[in-house]
């Protein structure tokens, strides 16, 4: 199978897919789309102008959740959705909340549509406040059975939460204790840590900053 991931620098939704691909040990080509290309050449790949897109042989699939579900169906190794139906629905519930409620209104095109005059500092402030408020709402549903978000296994829910929380930290949100603990727990597991997108770069940057 010939697989290509179209991503962009700093793309939260693409990181989810990248983590899923790497965690499952799937071979793929990674193409980083430049900002200007999102509104030009790349529209031939994804007419919404969004990343991620995944090309599987001649088919192109968009939407991170749909892509991860597809990977889960094709590549059975290292599952990211639990076998039990209720547990699976609970994982999807977390993913959908993050994808549709937390992430969608932060999309640049959405923010600009509703407020064309919004400047980048206002965008950042709004995004931080929204992420923190929503993560706090999500918190009571998490970590009931283990230090993983749902059940006692790593799942797509852990990926969606950790990538969203990392984005919040990059924007300057103050640390939230339980989300810090979650991230630290994930990083204590070798297969999860070694497949986390950007972690190697962060570690190099942190070492350089000392």
Nearer to ligand GSH, 72 or 143 (CB): 72
Nearer to ligand GSH, 99 or 151 (CB): 99
Asked if 198 contacts 163 with a C-beta cutoff of 8 angstroms, the reply is no
> Whole-angstrom Cα distance, residue 149 to residue 130?
20
CB of 133 to ligand GSH, least distance (A): 19
Asked if 3 contacts 19 with a C-beta cutoff of 8 angstroms, the reply is no
Nearer to ligand GSH, 15 or 90 (CB): 15
Nearer to ligand GSH, 38 or 135 (CB): 38
CB of 49 to ligand GSH, least distance (A): 6
- First CA to last CA across the chain, in angstroms? 43
Sheet holding 53-56: strands in order across? 29-32, 3-7, 53-56, 59-62
Query: Token pair of 90, please?
Result: 């609970």
Nearer to ligand GSH, 110 or 184 (CB): 110
CB of 99 to ligand GSH, least distance (A): 5
CB of 1 to ligand GSH, least distance (A): 21
* CA contacts within 13 A on the Cβ side of 187: 15
Radius of gyration over alpha carbons of the chain, in Å? 17
Residues in the site for ligand GSH, rule: CB under 6 A? 11-13, 38, 49-52, 63-65, 99, 107-109
**DSSP states of 162-205 as a string?**
HHHHHHHHHHTPPP-HHHHHHHHHHHTSHHHHTTSTTHHHHHHH
CB of 203 to ligand GSH, least distance (A): 23
């Amino acid at each position: 199978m010939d697989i290509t991931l179209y991503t962009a620098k700093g793309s939260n939704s693409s990181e989810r897919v990248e983590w899923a691909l790497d965690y499952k040990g799937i071979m793929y080509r990674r193409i980083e789309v430049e900002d200007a290309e999102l509104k030009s050449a790349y529209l031939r790949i994804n007419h919404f102008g969004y990343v991620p897109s995944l090309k599987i042989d001649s088919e192109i699939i968009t939407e991170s959740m749909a892509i991860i579900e597809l990977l889960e169906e094709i590549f059975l190794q290292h599952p990211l959705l639990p076998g039990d139906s209720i547990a699976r629905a609970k994982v999807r519930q977390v993913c959908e909340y993050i994808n549709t409620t937390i992430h969608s209104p932060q999309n640049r095109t959405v923010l600009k549509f509703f407020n064309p005059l919004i400047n980048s500092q206002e965008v950042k402030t709004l995004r931080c406040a929204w992420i923190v408020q929503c993560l706090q709402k999500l918190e009571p549903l998490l970590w009931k059975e283990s230090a993983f978000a749902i059940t006692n296994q790593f799942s797509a829910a852990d990926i969606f939460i950790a990538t969203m929380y990392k984005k919040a930290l990059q924007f300057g949100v103050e640390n939230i204790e339980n989300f810090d603990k979650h991230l630290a727990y994930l990083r204590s597991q070798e297969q999860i840590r070694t497949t986390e997108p950007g972690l190697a770069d962060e570690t190099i940057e942190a070492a350089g900053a000392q």
